[in-house]
Protein backbone atom coordinates (compact mmCIF):
# COMPACT_ATOMS: atom_id res chain seq x y z
CA UNK A 1 0.00 0.00 0.00
CA UNK A 2 1.33 3.41 -0.90
CA UNK A 3 2.21 5.31 2.23
CA UNK A 4 2.77 8.99 2.62
CA UNK A 5 5.28 10.03 5.23
CA UNK A 6 4.80 13.54 6.43
CA UNK A 7 8.04 14.78 7.87
CA UNK A 8 9.71 17.79 9.35
CA UNK A 9 8.65 20.98 7.59
CA UNK A 10 11.68 23.05 8.55
CA UNK A 11 10.77 26.20 6.70
CA UNK A 12 7.36 27.37 5.52
CA UNK A 13 6.97 30.55 3.54
CA UNK A 14 10.56 31.58 4.26
CA UNK A 15 11.31 34.95 2.73
CA UNK A 16 14.59 35.22 0.87
CA UNK A 17 16.13 38.40 -0.46
CA UNK A 18 16.17 37.14 -4.02
CA UNK A 19 14.56 34.57 -6.28
CA UNK A 20 17.29 33.23 -8.54
CA UNK A 21 17.57 29.87 -10.23
CA UNK A 22 19.63 28.20 -12.89
CA UNK A 23 18.11 28.64 -16.36
CA UNK A 24 19.87 26.76 -19.14
CA UNK A 25 18.90 28.05 -22.58
CA UNK A 26 20.46 26.03 -25.36
CA UNK A 27 20.80 27.98 -28.55
CA UNK A 28 20.63 26.74 -32.11
CA UNK A 29 21.19 30.03 -33.92
CA UNK A 30 24.43 31.79 -34.84
CA UNK A 31 23.04 35.34 -34.81
CA UNK A 32 22.99 36.89 -31.31
CA UNK A 33 19.54 37.29 -29.79
CA UNK A 34 18.46 39.10 -26.68
CA UNK A 35 17.63 36.95 -23.66
CA UNK A 36 15.48 38.36 -20.83
CA UNK A 37 15.06 36.27 -17.66
CA UNK A 38 12.52 37.91 -15.36
CA UNK A 39 11.06 35.82 -12.55
CA UNK A 40 9.46 38.26 -10.11
CA UNK A 41 7.52 37.10 -7.06
CA UNK A 42 6.25 38.03 -3.61
CA UNK A 43 8.90 35.89 -1.88
CA UNK A 44 10.83 39.07 -1.07
CA UNK A 45 11.28 42.74 -1.91
CA UNK A 46 14.39 42.33 -4.06
CA UNK A 47 13.60 41.58 -7.70
CA UNK A 48 16.18 40.76 -10.40
CA UNK A 49 15.92 40.74 -14.18
CA UNK A 50 18.81 39.49 -16.29
CA UNK A 51 19.44 40.83 -19.79
CA UNK A 52 22.02 39.15 -22.02
CA UNK A 53 22.78 38.15 -25.59
CA UNK A 54 23.35 34.70 -26.97
CA UNK A 55 26.83 33.66 -28.05
CA UNK A 56 28.21 31.12 -30.50
CA UNK A 57 28.64 27.53 -29.34
CA UNK A 58 32.40 27.88 -29.72
CA UNK A 59 32.69 30.67 -27.14
CA UNK A 60 33.82 29.86 -23.62
CA UNK A 61 30.90 31.74 -21.98
CA UNK A 62 27.21 30.82 -21.98
CA UNK A 63 25.92 34.34 -22.65
CA UNK A 64 27.13 37.92 -22.95
CA UNK A 65 25.67 40.31 -20.32
CA UNK A 66 24.02 43.52 -21.52
CA UNK A 67 24.95 46.42 -19.25
CA UNK A 68 23.35 49.40 -21.01
CA UNK A 69 19.65 48.49 -21.06
CA UNK A 70 16.76 50.45 -19.60
CA UNK A 71 14.51 48.10 -17.60
CA UNK A 72 11.16 49.05 -16.02
CA UNK A 73 8.06 47.25 -14.74
CA UNK A 74 4.73 49.09 -14.44
CA UNK A 75 1.60 47.88 -12.64
CA UNK A 76 -1.99 48.57 -13.63
CA UNK A 77 -2.23 51.32 -11.02
CA UNK A 78 0.42 53.34 -12.79
CA UNK A 79 3.29 52.67 -10.40
CA UNK A 80 6.65 52.39 -12.18
CA UNK A 81 9.47 50.22 -10.83
CA UNK A 82 12.90 51.07 -12.22
CA UNK A 83 15.61 48.41 -12.30
CA UNK A 84 19.24 49.48 -11.86
CA UNK A 85 22.16 47.60 -13.37
CA UNK A 86 24.45 45.86 -10.86
CA UNK A 87 26.57 43.13 -12.47
CA UNK A 88 26.63 40.18 -14.87
CA UNK A 89 23.58 41.38 -16.75
CA UNK A 90 21.38 41.71 -13.64
CA UNK A 91 19.11 44.73 -13.20
CA UNK A 92 17.75 45.06 -9.66
CA UNK A 93 14.96 46.78 -7.77
CA UNK A 94 15.35 46.39 -4.01
CA UNK A 95 11.99 47.71 -2.87
CA UNK A 96 9.36 45.92 -4.94
CA UNK A 97 7.02 43.18 -3.74
CA UNK A 98 4.39 42.36 -6.39
CA UNK A 99 0.72 42.06 -5.38
CA UNK A 100 -1.56 39.21 -6.46
CA UNK A 101 -4.27 39.93 -9.07
CA UNK A 102 -2.46 43.02 -10.39
CA UNK A 103 -1.23 43.28 -13.98
CA UNK A 104 2.42 44.06 -14.67
CA UNK A 105 4.04 45.28 -17.87
CA UNK A 106 7.74 44.81 -18.65
CA UNK A 107 9.64 47.23 -20.89
CA UNK A 108 13.29 46.67 -21.83
CA UNK A 109 15.04 49.17 -24.11
CA UNK A 110 18.35 48.04 -25.62
CA UNK A 111 19.94 50.45 -28.09
CA UNK A 112 16.53 51.77 -29.10
CA UNK A 113 15.01 48.30 -29.60
CA UNK A 114 11.98 47.73 -27.36
CA UNK A 115 11.09 44.39 -25.77
CA UNK A 116 7.74 44.13 -24.00
CA UNK A 117 5.64 41.64 -22.08
CA UNK A 118 2.63 41.56 -19.75
CA UNK A 119 1.70 39.26 -16.90
CA UNK A 120 -1.09 39.06 -14.36
CA UNK A 121 0.04 37.81 -10.97
CA UNK A 122 -2.23 34.93 -9.80
CA UNK A 123 -3.40 34.49 -6.23
CA UNK A 124 -1.64 31.75 -4.28
CA UNK A 125 -3.39 28.38 -3.87
CA UNK A 126 -2.64 27.19 -0.35
CA UNK A 127 -1.57 23.63 0.44
CA UNK A 128 -2.97 21.46 3.23
CA UNK A 129 0.06 19.27 3.83
CA UNK A 130 3.61 18.74 2.64
CA UNK A 131 5.68 15.60 2.97
CA UNK A 132 7.89 12.94 1.42
CA UNK A 133 6.59 10.02 -0.62
CA UNK A 134 8.64 6.87 -1.18
CA UNK A 135 7.78 4.83 -4.27
CA UNK A 136 9.25 1.57 -5.53
CA UNK A 137 9.64 1.64 -9.31
CA UNK A 138 11.00 -1.53 -10.96
CA UNK A 139 12.57 -2.50 -7.64
CA UNK A 140 14.29 0.82 -6.96
CA UNK A 141 13.14 3.29 -4.31
CA UNK A 142 12.51 6.91 -5.30
CA UNK A 143 11.57 9.85 -3.12
CA UNK A 144 9.33 12.79 -3.97
CA UNK A 145 8.29 15.97 -2.21
CA UNK A 146 4.48 15.91 -2.10
CA UNK A 147 1.96 18.75 -1.90
CA UNK A 148 -1.71 18.02 -1.15
CA UNK A 149 -4.29 20.77 -1.70
CA UNK A 150 -7.77 21.64 -2.87
CA UNK A 151 -7.68 23.02 -6.40
CA UNK A 152 -10.12 25.94 -6.83
CA UNK A 153 -13.11 24.95 -8.97
CA UNK A 154 -13.90 26.65 -12.27
CA UNK A 155 -10.60 28.53 -12.28
CA UNK A 156 -7.66 27.70 -14.53
CA UNK A 157 -4.64 27.24 -12.27
CA UNK A 158 -1.01 26.80 -13.24
CA UNK A 159 1.82 25.72 -10.97
CA UNK A 160 5.62 25.77 -11.23
CA UNK A 161 8.08 24.13 -8.84
CA UNK A 162 11.77 24.85 -8.29
CA UNK A 163 13.91 22.58 -6.14
CA UNK A 164 17.16 22.87 -4.20
CA UNK A 165 18.84 19.75 -2.79
CA UNK A 166 21.34 20.16 0.05
CA UNK A 167 21.64 23.94 -0.44
CA UNK A 168 22.46 23.67 -4.15
CA UNK A 169 21.24 26.31 -6.61
CA UNK A 170 17.51 26.20 -7.27
CA UNK A 171 16.61 24.32 -10.43
CA UNK A 172 13.37 24.06 -12.35
CA UNK A 173 11.56 20.86 -11.36
CA UNK A 174 8.07 20.78 -12.85
CA UNK A 175 5.19 22.74 -14.39
CA UNK A 176 1.64 21.49 -13.82
CA UNK A 177 -1.92 22.59 -14.53
CA UNK A 178 -5.43 21.62 -13.40
CA UNK A 179 -6.86 20.69 -16.78
CA UNK A 180 -7.82 17.19 -15.63
CA UNK A 181 -8.34 17.84 -11.91
CA UNK A 182 -10.09 21.21 -11.72
CA UNK A 183 -11.85 21.57 -8.37
CA UNK A 184 -10.48 18.27 -7.04
CA UNK A 185 -8.25 17.41 -4.10
CA UNK A 186 -4.82 17.16 -5.71
CA UNK A 187 -1.40 15.71 -4.91
CA UNK A 188 1.68 17.00 -6.73
CA UNK A 189 4.83 14.86 -6.61
CA UNK A 190 8.03 16.83 -7.15
CA UNK A 191 11.57 15.62 -7.83
CA UNK A 192 14.70 16.82 -9.59
CA UNK A 193 14.94 15.76 -13.23
CA UNK A 194 18.67 15.02 -13.01
CA UNK A 195 19.43 14.27 -9.35
CA UNK A 196 17.65 11.67 -7.24
CA UNK A 197 16.45 12.61 -3.77
CA UNK A 198 17.91 10.15 -1.23
CA UNK A 199 17.57 9.56 2.53
CA UNK A 200 19.45 12.21 4.50
CA UNK A 201 18.90 14.95 1.92
CA UNK A 202 17.63 18.37 2.92
CA UNK A 203 15.45 19.87 0.22
CA UNK A 204 13.77 23.23 -0.32
CA UNK A 205 10.89 23.61 -2.77
CA UNK A 206 9.57 26.88 -4.14
CA UNK A 207 5.96 26.48 -5.24
CA UNK A 208 4.82 29.18 -7.66
CA UNK A 209 1.33 29.97 -8.91
CA UNK A 210 1.96 31.36 -12.41
CA UNK A 211 -0.14 32.64 -15.31
CA UNK A 212 -0.98 30.61 -18.41
CA UNK A 213 1.75 31.92 -20.72
CA UNK A 214 4.47 31.35 -18.13
CA UNK A 215 3.18 27.82 -17.58
CA UNK A 216 3.26 27.22 -21.34
CA UNK A 217 6.90 28.38 -21.46
CA UNK A 218 8.00 25.95 -18.74
CA UNK A 219 5.78 23.14 -19.94
CA UNK A 220 7.37 23.45 -23.38
CA UNK A 221 10.78 23.48 -21.70
CA UNK A 222 10.11 20.26 -19.77
CA UNK A 223 8.52 18.59 -22.80
CA UNK A 224 11.25 19.28 -25.35
CA UNK A 225 14.52 19.46 -23.43
CA UNK A 226 15.04 16.35 -21.28
CA UNK A 227 17.04 13.68 -23.07
CA UNK A 228 17.38 15.54 -26.37
CA UNK A 229 20.67 16.04 -28.14
CA UNK A 230 19.70 19.48 -29.43
CA UNK A 231 17.25 21.10 -27.00
CA UNK A 232 15.00 23.83 -28.33
CA UNK A 233 14.18 27.25 -26.99
CA UNK A 234 10.73 27.51 -25.34
CA UNK A 235 8.33 30.00 -26.88
CA UNK A 236 8.92 33.33 -25.14
CA UNK A 237 6.15 35.61 -23.89
CA UNK A 238 8.35 38.65 -24.69
CA UNK A 239 8.01 40.62 -27.92
CA UNK A 240 10.52 41.45 -30.67
CA UNK A 241 11.93 37.93 -31.06
CA UNK A 242 13.53 37.89 -27.60
CA UNK A 243 14.30 34.65 -25.78
CA UNK A 244 13.43 34.06 -22.14
CA UNK A 245 10.28 34.90 -20.19
CA UNK A 246 8.56 37.44 -17.93
CA UNK A 247 6.79 36.02 -14.88
CA UNK A 248 5.18 37.67 -11.86
CA UNK A 249 4.10 34.90 -9.50
CA UNK A 250 2.86 34.24 -6.01
CA UNK A 251 5.11 31.77 -4.20
CA UNK A 252 5.82 30.04 -0.92
CA UNK A 253 8.91 28.09 0.10
CA UNK A 254 8.95 24.74 1.89
CA UNK A 255 11.89 22.96 3.51
CA UNK A 256 11.93 19.22 4.25
CA UNK A 257 14.43 16.56 5.24
CA UNK A 258 14.32 12.96 4.06
CA UNK A 259 15.01 10.75 7.12
CA UNK A 260 17.65 8.05 7.02
CA UNK A 261 15.06 5.47 8.07
CA UNK A 262 11.42 5.60 7.02
CA UNK A 263 8.94 3.51 8.99
CA UNK A 264 6.30 1.87 6.83
CA UNK A 265 2.67 1.35 7.72
CA UNK A 266 1.38 -2.21 7.42
Q: Tell me, yes or no, if the two domains 4-15+124-225+252-257 and 34-122+235-249 fold the same way.
A: yes
Question: Which one-letter DSSP state was computed for residue 22?
Answer: B
For range 18-44, the mean pLDDT: 75
Residue 260 confidence (pLDDT): 76
Taking all residues of the chain, what is their mean pLDDT, rounded to a whole number? 87
For range 221-248, the mean pLDDT: 82
For range 243-249, the mean pLDDT: 97
Question: Which one-letter DSSP state was computed for residue 151?
Answer: P
Lowest mean pLDDT among 18-27, 187-196, 208-217, 254-263: 18-27
Q: 254, exposed or middle or buried, with CB in 10 Å at 0-12, 13-18, 19+?
A: buried
Beta strands in 99-139 (DSSP E): 103-110, 113-120, 129-137
As assigned by CATH, the class of the 4-15+124-225+252-257 domain is mainly beta
CATH number attached to the domain at 34-122+235-249: 2.60.40.10
CA atoms within 13 A on the CB side of 119: 34
**What ranges do the domains of the chain cover?**
4-15+124-225+252-257, 34-122+235-249
What is the Cα–Cα distance from 14 to 127, expressed in whole angstroms?
15
User: Is the predicted pLDDT of residue 214 greater than 70, yes or no?
Assistant: yes
pLDDT 10s digits, 116-146: 999 999 999 999 999 999 988 887 888 999 9
Q: Whole-model pTM?
A: 0.84
Amino acid sequence: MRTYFYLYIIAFCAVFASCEEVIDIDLNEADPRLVIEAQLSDLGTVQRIRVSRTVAFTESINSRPVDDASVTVTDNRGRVFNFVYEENGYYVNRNFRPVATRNYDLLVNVEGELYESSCQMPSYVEVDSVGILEESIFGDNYYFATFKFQDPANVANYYKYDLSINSATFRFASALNDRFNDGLYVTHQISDQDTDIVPGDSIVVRRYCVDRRVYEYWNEFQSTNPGTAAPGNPTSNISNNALGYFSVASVKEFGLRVPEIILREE
